[in-house]
């Protein structure tokens, strides 16, 4: 499984945008970039995924570099409820298991 690298932690102010980076320099052509998050004492929650083009949904946006070696999860207006561990995961087109790294702990200040 291709490896991802994320900062250990980040801090944001409430109501401000947050950009969570992820490096995946060994990504293969068929790997999809997935983001999950885990709120305290809960199971992981799907956030967004993409292959080559930038993606938007009601939760977040995913910006993918042209060479696909990095990506950024964008939370447009952070709230206290967004405080969680965010995981960037590569998954092959037919891959089944999710391989979680350490993720980024996002702290949101009021």
Partner 1 sequence: NAGVMQNPRHLVRRRGQEARLRCSPMKGHSHVYWYRQLPEEGLKFMVYLQKENIIDESGMPKERFSAEFPKEGPSILRIQQVVRGDSAAYFCASSRGHGVAGNEQFFGPGTRLTVL
| Site for partner 1, rule CB under 8 A | 32, 38, 42-46, 49, 91-103
- Measured from the CB of residue 77, what is the shortest distance to partner 1 in angstroms? 24
Count how many Cα atoms sit within 13 Å of the Cα of residue 9 in the half-sphere of its side chain.
Answer: 4
* Nearer Cβ to partner 1 (14/55): 55
- Measured from the CB of residue 22, what is the shortest distance to partner 1 in angstroms? 15
Task: Give me 87's structure tokens.
Answer: 């995981």
* Nearer Cβ to partner 1 (21/32): 32
What Å distances lie between residue 86 and 66, 77, 79, 95, CA to CA? Answer: 22, 16, 14, 20
- Measured from the CB of residue 94, what is the shortest distance to partner 1 in angstroms? 4
* Nearer Cβ to partner 1 (17/92): 92
- Measured from the CB of residue 57, what is the shortest distance to partner 1 in angstroms? 11
Q: Please tell me the distance from the alpha carbon of residue 99 to that of residue 97, in angstroms, as a whole number.
A: 6
Task: Give me 99's structure tokens.
Answer: 């391989």
Residue 22 DSSP SS3: strand
């Amino acid at each position: 499984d291709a490896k991802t690298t994320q900062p250990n932690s980040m801090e944001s102010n409430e109501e401000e945008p947050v950009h969570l980076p992820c490096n995946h320099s060994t990504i293969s052509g068929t790997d999809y970039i997935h983001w999950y998050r885990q709120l305290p004492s809960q199971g992981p929650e799907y956030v967004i995924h993409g292959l080559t083009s930038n993606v938007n949904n009601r939760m977040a946006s995913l910006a993918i570099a042209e060479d696909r070696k990095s990506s950024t999860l964008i939370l447009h207006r952070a709230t206290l409820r967004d405080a969680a561990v965010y995981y960037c995961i590569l998954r092959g087109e037919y891959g089944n298991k999710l391989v979680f790294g350490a993720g980024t702990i996002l702290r949101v200040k009021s």
